[in-house]
Chain A
C-alpha cells in the first residue's frame, strides 16, 4: 500500500507502463545487437574485444556520411526507404570490413605468437582509443546530426497503435529490424556449414582445427558478423537518437559488454536478452524512480543477479579441473 502511495497517479496507468516498456525495448535492442558482437568474439577467442564499441561508432559515422551524400534527411535524392537501406548496407559492410581489419592486424599476430591472454586485451583497448582519436581528427569532435526527424516530413516519428502499445514508426523499425537480424543470425549459426564451424570452434578451438576446420577463417567470419551487427546498431542509433560523436562507442560499448556478461558471455540469445534487460531496466528506473539513480538501480540489480548466477542467464559454468 505504501509502495503504491509512493507513485504519482500518472505512473500507475497502464499506458505509461507500456510507453516506458517500448522505450526500454528500443534502447535494449541496440545494446543487444552490440552485445552479440562481444559475445561471439568471446565465445570463440575468449577475448574481450573492447574495440567493438568503436566499430559501432564508425558504423554510425558511415551511415551519417551516406545520408549526407544522398542529400540529407530533409531532401534525399532517392526515396526515403532506399536511402535508409543504402545507409544500412554501406555501414554494415564498412563496419564488417573494419572488424576484419582489426582482427587481422591487432589480434591475429598476437594469437600466432601465442601471447598471454592479457596482451590482446591491451591491444583491444589500444585499438579502441586509436579509433576514437582517429574519428576526432577525421570527423571533428562536434556531434554530427542525422536529423532523421526531417525524413518524410517527420512521419517516421509519428505513432501507431498496435494492440495496447502506442509506438513510433522509428521505434517499431528498430525493434523489428533487430528481431530480423537476430533470426537471420540464429539461422546462420544453426543451419549453415560456417555456422557449424563457428560452434565447433567455440566449443574447442584446437580440436576444431585438428578436425580440419580453418579456424582463422571462422574467426574472421565471426568478427565480420559481429561488426556488421554493430554497424547496423550504429545506423539505428543515429536514426533514433540523431547524433554521432567519436565518444559514443565507448559508453555504449561498456553497457553492451555488461549486457553480454549478464546474458552469459558467449551466448547469442543471452546477449540480446541482457541488452533488453538493461534497456528496460533503465527506462523503468527513469519512469518510476528517478533518472538520477538509473545506473545505480540497473547495475545494483545486475550485480545481485550475477551473484546468484555468475555465469549469466544463458552461460554455462566453466568446468573445474580437480
Chain B
C-alpha cells in the first residue's frame, strides 16, 4: 500500500513539475546574461499570455512573432525602407498575466538580462505603471501596442512622472481620445440627450476605471443622467446590473472591460431581459471571436485588421500559423517594428547600447504601417498627430462593421 502511495505521489509530483515548467517556460527563457550585440540583438515581447485576457495577449505575442519572422527573413514590411540594414533579432517572451505584480517581476528579470535592448510592452496600463519604472531604471526603451491610459505619456501626472519622457512610447491612441470619441458617439450618433439615462460600468481595474470616468464626466457635462457602476472582472453575474439598467430605462450602457467574454455575457443578459437600448464596449472588449452579440457597438484603436489592404498578406500568414486573429494584437506588430528599426539604426556603427536604442526608437519614422497609417513619435511618446478610434457595430453574423471611422 505504501509503495502504491509513493508511486502515486511521485507521479503527481512529476506531472506538477512538468506543468509548472511548461507554464513558466516563456518567462524562464528570459535570463541569459551576455553583452548585447548587433549580429543577433535581443528584444523582449511581453503580454498577458495567461489569465482572463490571455486571448488578447497571445494575439499580441503572435503578431510580434510574425513581425520578427518577416524581419529576419528580409521580407518587405510596410514602413521599412529597402535601404535599411536590418539587425537580426531574437525574442525573449514573458507572460505578465495582466497583473501589476507579475509585470514588476518580469521587469526585474528583463532589466537584469543584459542581452535585452528594448521591450515590447507592457500590454496593460496598470502593468506599465508597475513595471515601467523598473525598466526605466535599467535604461530600457518600451513600446506598447495596447497601453492606452492617457497619463502614461503626460509628465505632469504621477504615472508620467515615474515613466519619464523618452523611455515609454506607444503606437496606439490614448484613452483621452477614446473617452471623447465614445462619449461623442453616444451623444451624437446614439441620440442621447440631456436628461436621458446612461449606465457606465467599469471592471474595477486600472484600465477601465479612468476610461469610464472620462466618459462619465463628458456625458455628465452634457446633462446626461449617468449611473456609474463598477463590477470586478472576475465576477460574471451581470443580472443585477442588467435589472438596474432596464428599470431605470438606460438608453445606453457603456462597458469598459478588458475581458471580451464579459461584454458578451453582459449584453446577452441585458437583451434577454428585454433591454431595448444600445450597448457600447470599449477597446478592451474588441474580440470578434468572443464578443459577437449583434447590435453591440465597440470602439477600437485599430481597424479590423482584415480590412486593411496592406495587412492582407500578413493576416494570411498569421492565420495560417496561429489561427484567426482578433485584431487586438496587430498594433504589437508595429510596436516591435519601431523597436527593430531603432535597434538597426543604433547598430549603424556596429555597436549598440540600451541608451542608443532608446534614442533611435524616438526618431523612427514609418511612412506606412500594418495598420494602414504612418507612425512616428512625439517627444512624449505618443504617435504624432494622434490616432483615431474607430467605432464598429456587430452584424447579424457576428462580423464587425465600421460605423464611424477614426
Please list the residues of chain B having a beta carbon within 8 angstroms of any beta carbon in chain A.
5, 8-9, 12, 15-16, 19-20, 22-23, 49-52, 54-55, 58, 201, 204, 228-232, 234-237, 239-241, 243-244, 247-249, 259, 261-262, 264-265, 268, 272-274, 290
Q: Is the CB of B247 within 8 A of A242?
A: no
Residues of B with C-beta under 8 A to A26: 239
Q: Is the CB of B231 within 8 A of A130?
A: no
Binds B, one of A13-21, A83-91, A183-191, A305-313: A13-21
A133 on interface, CB distance cutoff 8 Å: yes
Closest-CB distance, A151 to chain B (whole angstroms): 12
A130 to B13 alpha-carbon distance, docked (Å): 10
**A 135-158 binary contact with B (CB < 8 Å = 1; else 0):** 011001111010001000010011
> Chain A: which residue is nearest B326 at the CB level?
A142
Q: Is the CB of A247 within 8 A of B52?
A: yes
Q: Is the CB of B240 within 8 A of A24?
A: yes
Residues of A with C-beta under 8 A to B262: 243
Residues of A with C-beta under 8 A to B54: 140-142
A172 on interface, CB distance cutoff 8 Å: no
Q: Which of A8, A104, A106 has the most CB of B within 10 A?
A: A8
Interface of chain A: mostly helix, strand, loop or mixed:
helix
A10 to B237 alpha-carbon distance, docked (Å): 21
Residues of A with C-beta under 8 A to B237: 23, 27, 241, 282
Residues of B with C-beta under 8 A to A195: none
Closest-CB distance, A247 to chain B (whole angstroms): 7
Closest-CB distance, A20 to chain B (whole angstroms): 6
Closest-CB distance, B153 to chain A (whole angstroms): 28
Residues of A with C-beta under 8 A to B49: 141
Residues of B with C-beta under 8 A to A159: 273-274
Q: Is the CB of B265 within 8 A of A243?
A: yes
Q: Is the CB of B239 within 8 A of A242?
A: no
A290 to B20 alpha-carbon distance, docked (Å): 40
A109 on interface, CB distance cutoff 8 Å: yes
Q: Which of B228, B236, B239, B259 has the most CB of A within 10 A?
A: B239
A77 on interface, CB distance cutoff 8 Å: no
A109 to B201 alpha-carbon distance, docked (Å): 48
A69 on interface, CB distance cutoff 8 Å: no
Within the complex, which residue of B52, B201, B231 is in contact with A143, where a contact is CB–CB below 8 Å? Answer: B52
Residues of A with C-beta under 8 A to B232: 295
Within the complex, which residue of B16, B236, B240 is in contact with A20, where a contact is CB–CB below 8 Å? Answer: B240
A245 on interface, CB distance cutoff 8 Å: yes
A221 on interface, CB distance cutoff 8 Å: no
Q: Is the CB of A291 within 8 A of B231?
A: yes
Residues of B with C-beta under 8 A to A20: 240, 243
Q: Is the CB of A251 within 8 A of B50?
A: no
Q: Could you list some 9 contacts between A and B, CB below 8 A?
A: A26-B239, A142-B54, A142-B55, A143-B261, A242-B236, A247-B51, A286-B229, A291-B240, A291-B241
A11 on interface, CB distance cutoff 8 Å: yes
A23 to B50 alpha-carbon distance, docked (Å): 31
Residues of B with C-beta under 8 A to A241: 236-237, 265
> Chain B: which residue is nearest A23 at the CB level?
B239
Closest-CB distance, B113 to chain A (whole angstroms): 25
A13 to B247 alpha-carbon distance, docked (Å): 9
Within the complex, which residue of B240, B265, B290 is in contact with A286, where a contact is CB–CB below 8 Å? Answer: B240
A27 to B237 alpha-carbon distance, docked (Å): 8
Residues of A with C-beta under 8 A to B19: 130, 133-134, 137
Please list the residues of chain A having a beta carbon within 8 angstroms of any beta carbon in chain B.
8, 10-11, 13, 16, 19-20, 23-24, 26-27, 104-106, 109, 130, 133-134, 136-137, 140-143, 145, 149, 154, 157-159, 168, 241-243, 245, 247-248, 251, 282-283, 286-287, 290-292, 294-295
Closest-CB distance, A70 to chain B (whole angstroms): 21
Residues of A with C-beta under 8 A to B15: 134
Within the complex, which residue of B5, B204, B272 is in contact with A168, where a contact is CB–CB below 8 Å? Answer: B272
Q: Is the CB of A283 within 8 A of B239?
A: yes
Q: Which of B9, B19, B234, B243 has the most CB of A within 10 A?
A: B243
Residues of B with C-beta under 8 A to A133: 19-20, 23
A137 to B272 alpha-carbon distance, docked (Å): 34
Closest-CB distance, A60 to chain B (whole angstroms): 11
> Chain A: which residue is nearest B237 at the CB level?
A27
Known contacts: A137-B23, A145-B264, A168-B272. The answer to whether A19 contacts B247 by CB under 8 A is yes
Residues of B with C-beta under 8 A to A130: 12, 16, 19
Q: Is the CB of A105 within 8 A of B12?
A: yes
A11 to B240 alpha-carbon distance, docked (Å): 12
Residues of B with C-beta under 8 A to A104: 8
Q: Which of B52, B235, B237 has the most CB of A within 10 A?
A: B237
Q: Is the CB of A242 within 8 A of B265?
A: yes
Q: A16-B247, A140-B54, A283-B240 are in contact. List 8 more A-B contacts (CB 8 A).
A: A16-B243, A23-B237, A26-B239, A109-B9, A130-B19, A141-B54, A242-B236, A290-B230
Closest-CB distance, B236 to chain A (whole angstroms): 5
Q: Is the CB of A149 within 8 A of B268?
A: yes
A154 to B235 alpha-carbon distance, docked (Å): 23
Residues of A with C-beta under 8 A to B5: 105, 109
Closest-CB distance, B224 to chain A (whole angstroms): 15
Residues of A with C-beta under 8 A to B231: 286, 291, 294
The 9 closest A-B pairs by CB, nearest first: A141-B54, A142-B55, A286-B240, A23-B239, A157-B272, A292-B230, A10-B247, A143-B261, A141-B50
Q: Is the CB of B243 within 8 A of A291?
A: no
Residues of A with C-beta under 8 A to B228: 290, 292
Q: Is the CB of B261 within 8 A of A105?
A: no
> Chain A: which residue is nearest B242 at the CB level?
A23
Closest-CB distance, B370 to chain A (whole angstroms): 23
Closest-CB distance, A255 to chain B (whole angstroms): 9
A10 to B225 alpha-carbon distance, docked (Å): 14
Known contacts: A251-B234, A251-B235. The answer to whether A245 contacts B201 by CB under 8 A is no
A159 to B242 alpha-carbon distance, docked (Å): 14
> Chain A: which residue is nearest B229 at the CB level?
A291
Q: Is the CB of A136 within 8 A of B52?
A: no
A157 to B269 alpha-carbon distance, docked (Å): 9
